[in-house]
Chains A and B, each alone.
Chain A
Amino acid sequence: GNSVTQMEGPVTLSEEAFLTINCTYTATGYPSLFWYVQYPGEGLQLLLKATKADDKGSNKGFEATYRKETTSFHLEKGSVQVSDSAVYFCAFPYSSASKIIFGSGTRLSIRP
């Protein structure tokens, strides 16, 4: 069945470092793909999305490209800040558009 595999954390980087968090999926067809972020003590919020192959989603300096050849949707940021410290989740529809599943989450900590 459909599944999503996400890079395990925690990931610790220094401020202004380059970030990549890997996400790969197994699905029939080409579902929309999402990255969510969870700041400490809060619920999840949508960070970015891509609705079809080769689309690039972007928001707050983060980017992710929907690559159907490698079934991947890796999250990247060129220069991270302390305020980016959070848990990041890859997500996509499971068996239908109404059933969204999430990866295991990657905790990111940024050192000043």
Chain B
Amino acid sequence: NAGVTQTPKFRILKIGQSMTLQCTQDMNHNYMYWYRQDPGMGLKLIYYSVGAGITDKGEVPNGYNVSRSTTEDFPLRLELAAPSQTSVYFCASSKGQGENTGELFFGEGSRLTVL
């Protein structure tokens, strides 16, 4: 029962470095999401995807890029890391339709620190 798997769990970056947070799901869900959670704050939607080859911006997309070449994978890329991107990142997936709309399954999170 893998569900949604995120890697790495922890990472420290220097300002200006780039990296990719990996996310994969084995539930054949069409919808996938990336959120960030700053300390003591709620979740903010970065990007989402409704299917392979389709992505769209969320509330806070600046500084990030995504791709969705397969149903299973939805990587999040940071090109030029900045201290403001220090956060915990959560990937989620959903069937996305009908009565399942809004039922998200979350990964365990990736804690990123930019120094």
Contact = CB atoms under 8 A, between A and B. Distances in A.
Interface of A: 6, 31-32, 34, 36, 42-46, 49, 51, 89, 91-94, 97-105
B58 interface: yes
A103 B42 contact: yes
B42 A102 contact: yes
B41 A105 contact: yes
Interface stretch (B10-18, B62-70, B71-79, B100-108): B100-108
Contact of B48 (A34, A49, A99): A99
A46 B105 CA distance: 8
A43 B23 CA distance: 14
| Chain B interface residue bracket vs A | 20 to 34
30 contacts: A6-B42, A32-B101, A34-B102, A42-B109, A43-B90, A43-B92, A43-B109, A44-B43, A44-B90, A44-B92, A46-B104, A49-B102, A51-B99, A89-B43, A91-B102, A92-B102, A93-B102, A97-B101, A97-B102, A98-B48, A99-B45, A99-B48, A100-B102, A101-B45, A102-B35, A102-B43, A103-B42, A104-B41, A105-B42, A105-B43
Centre residue among B99, B102, B103 by max chain A CB count within 10 A: B102
Contacts of B33: 100
A97 B97 contact: yes
A98 B103 contact: no
A21 to B, nearest CB: 13
Contacts of B41: 104-105
B54 to A, nearest CB: 10
Interface string B78-115: 00000000000010101011010111101111000000
Contacts of A104: 41-42
Contacts of A45: 106
B27 interface: no
Given A32-B101, A93-B101, A98-B31, A42 B108 contact: yes
B50 interface: yes
Given A46-B104, A49-B103, 11 more contacts: A31-B102, A34-B102, A36-B104, A44-B104, A45-B106, A93-B102, A97-B101, A98-B31, A99-B56, A100-B45, A104-B42
